[in-house]
Chains A and B, each alone.
Chain A
């Protein structure tokens, strides 16, 4: 078994054992922290497909995260006030059902990714970064200035949405749900990396002219990657809003995009479990150092600097060495 597999197994084990211990020791706050890490990891797994596999440096993934969040907020707020979203031409009711909310979050964020991709994939490099950032800022200011759903103040949801057969208000059950989704998406990601699509996307990142020369369109491959990526990050957004029972324009801010990217870079770009390691480290630092100083992100900056300077493959790369795939 390769070192990377061992590391992945260890990370997965930690994701099971830490909350199990917290449950046993009666530390619900630790479970909440773990849930936060798992949701961040999910968002970053999404970005990693665009960034790591597709080479698309998107500084606008908060758009998808926020759309997922607002999908939850809007649907749940209508359900909570018993007002339909619209009456005409047909009635759409709000909902408190997680599966429905997830579906809406995924569809809405993949549509946004398609639209953003169609426009921004005409550019590359620094221009791609800037244009995705610009889309993010547009959405951010739109959310701030749209009073119907709380504007700058955001939307509060009083009771967490439901999942058939589970009591989602119980932290450990909600955690389990999030972890199950993360595992599902990781399994999909693992298959994607080795699939024909993954092979072509991987080549499109390295040598687009070669991909064209064998008769494939690298831009189309990248567009599909961006849509998949946006859908996953959107799903994470819906969960994040449910965790906090609150959604606000902050979820759409460029700082959020930056944070998701930091998870990927600290953990390891294009590594399957990179986002998991990255999000875990982030939440850990946030918790440990956040108590010491308000300016804890200075230390985060140092960690990021170390990783970028000395470990090009992120934490996973430092521990497991270079990526090997078959």
Chain B
């Protein structure tokens, strides 16, 4: 079996009496899309926060590229090649679309300490930024202020910024949230191709997307992984049906 790119081992996090993460162990292997599903309040966001480093776990480890990164900051993990997208778009709204992806390219270059050159004239940064916009289909809108984008376009830009990092793994927090059926379908097609570039840990509510994309699915309920398996396994799992899927499956 190949080494996982990203793995958690026994992650625990409690907020008072609420056990938001209860010994969560899961891994992300090269080339796959691993979806994490679960009802609201299951602890999906808490899990992502711990994986990306904005929240320290009470116990357990996060491993990335075979290295224990549990004690590292968000920016250190990002610099190693862990790219995330946010559930609610975290974009510089006053800036242009291009400036947002330029920021990603700048982060990937690791050299923000240039005070005299022009960011938009730096060929290396610009190529990387524009390639990412091209990939998600926002190239035409690059001069627009981000605040002027539609919700769907912001979701696309969110993915584009992650792309500029040319990461080793993606962690996506509900990338389909608020997209219409059409947009959801388009993004599904895009993510389908993206897994060849880097594996994706996908937290998603949109079941159609999850069943279409996921190689494996983990089901999170009350902070605990109650099942992990292929789409078929999960559809058939009686525990999952009872706890979560209900009639949907």
Q: Report yes or no: B111 in contact with A196, Cβ–Cβ below 8 A.
A: yes
Q: Nearest-CB distance from A216 to chain B (Å)?
A: 5
Q: Report yes or no: B116 in contact with A191, Cβ–Cβ below 8 A.
A: yes
When each residue 25-51 of chain B gets 1 if its CB lies under 8 Å from chain A and 0 otherwise, what string results?
000000000000000000000000000
Is B2 part of the binding interface, using a Cβ–Cβ cutoff of 8 Å? no
When each residue 195-219 of chain A gets 1 if its CB lies under 8 Å from chain B and 0 otherwise, what string results?
1111110110011011111111100
Q: Report yes or no: B115 in contact with A214, Cβ–Cβ below 8 A.
A: no
Which of A197, A202, A213 contacts B90 (CB under 8 A)? A213
Tell me which residues from 198 to 245 in chain A have a Cβ below 8 Å from any Cβ of chain B: 198-200, 202-203, 206-207, 209-217, 221, 224
Q: Nearest-CB distance from B112 to chain A (Å)?
A: 4
Residues in chain A near residue B95, CB distance under 8 A: 199, 202-203, 206
Q: Report yes or no: A199 in contact with B119, Cβ–Cβ below 8 A.
A: yes
Q: Nearest-CB distance from B86 to chain A (Å)?
A: 7
Complex CA distance for A234 and B64, rounded to whole angstroms:
45
Q: Report yes or no: B90 in contact with A196, Cβ–Cβ below 8 A.
A: no
Query: Which residue of chain B lies nearest to A201 when distances are taken between CB atoms in the complex?
Result: B112
Which of B79, B96, B103, B117 contacts A200 (CB under 8 A)? B103
Complex CA distance for A211 and B116, rounded to whole angstroms:
20
Which of A192, A194, A206, A221 contacts B112 (CB under 8 A)? A221
Q: Report yes or no: B110 in contact with A215, Cβ–Cβ below 8 A.
A: yes
Residues in chain A near residue B102, CB distance under 8 A: 199
Which of A196, A210, A221 contacts B161 (CB under 8 A)? A210
Question: Do A195 and B116 form a contact, CB below 8 Å, given A215-B79, A215-B108?
Answer: yes
Number of A-B pairs, beta carbon distance below 8 Å: 110
Q: Report yes or no: B117 in contact with A212, Cβ–Cβ below 8 A.
A: no
Question: Do A215 and B115 form a contact, CB below 8 Å, given A196-B125, A199-B103, A202-B92?
Answer: no
Tell me which residues from 197 to 249 in chain B have a Cβ below 8 Å from any Cβ of chain A: none
Q: Nearest-CB distance from A5 to chain B (Å)?
A: 17
Question: Do A206 and B94 form a contact, CB below 8 Å, given A213-B78, A213-B84, A326-B120?
Answer: yes
Q: Report yes or no: A211 in contact with B107, Cβ–Cβ below 8 A.
A: yes
Residues in chain A near residue B107, CB distance under 8 A: 200, 211, 214-216
Query: Which residue of chain B lies nearest to A221 when distances are taken between CB atoms in the complex?
Result: B112
Residue of A209, A211, A214 with highest tally of chain B CB at under 10 A:
A214
- Taking Cβ atoms with an 8 Å cutoff, the residues of A that contact B are 188, 191-192, 194-200, 202-203, 206-207, 209-217, 221, 224, 326
Additional pairs, 7, CB under 8 Å, beyond known A197-B114, A213-B75, A216-B75? A196-B113, A197-B112, A199-B99, A199-B112, A203-B95, A209-B54, A213-B52
Can you list 19 A-B pairs with a CB-CB distance of less than 8 A? A188-B115, A192-B115, A195-B115, A196-B112, A200-B112, A202-B92, A203-B103, A209-B86, A209-B90, A210-B90, A210-B91, A210-B92, A213-B75, A213-B86, A214-B104, A214-B107, A214-B164, A215-B79, A216-B112
